[in-house]
Amino acid sequence: MAGKKLEWLDEYSVEIKILDDQHKQMFVTINELLDAINTNTPQEHLKNIIDDLIKYKLFHFETEEKYFKEFNYEGAEEHITKHREFNEKLNIIIGKHPENNLELAFELIDFLEDWLVGHLMVVDQKYIKCFKEHGLK
């Protein structure tokens, strides 16, 4: 059995609706993956959820990085480096389990739970002031 579901907490908020909504969607998709593991979902369905999760995370990174550029965010380079490190780690995990979506799902969940919460609580908090100063709410 996989771990318990992720719960969105107010302390994860970056106080910007579009970004909080995207972060919340990540929680929803990770929880879908947990449900799929716990109900012995077929490998193909697991793969679809994993693919959706990866695509959505990349979409989210693009959204944040668009605002970094638009607002000339001074922490952009450091933050983009974190996004690249995430993508590299993701590629390593995917490469380790090319034929076993269940093992991939377990390892992805372990990685994503820790990474997402840590990223929200530390790295994303740094851009709030800049984004709000540019009118993003």
Residue-wise pLDDT for 36-77, tens only, equals 888 888 888 888 998 998 899 899 999 999 999 999 999 999
- 43-70 helix and 101-118 helix, angle to the nearest 10 degrees: 30
Give the C-alpha separation, 100 to 105, whole Å.
9
Q: Can you read off the two tokens belonging to residue 94?
A: 């995917």
Domains of the chain: 23-133 (1.20.120.50)
At residue 28, the 3 state secondary structure works out as helix
Q: pTM of the prediction?
A: 0.89
Average pLDDT value for the chain: 91
Q: What is the CA radius of gyration of the chain?
A: 16
Q: Integer distance in angstroms from the first to the last C-alpha of the chain?
A: 39
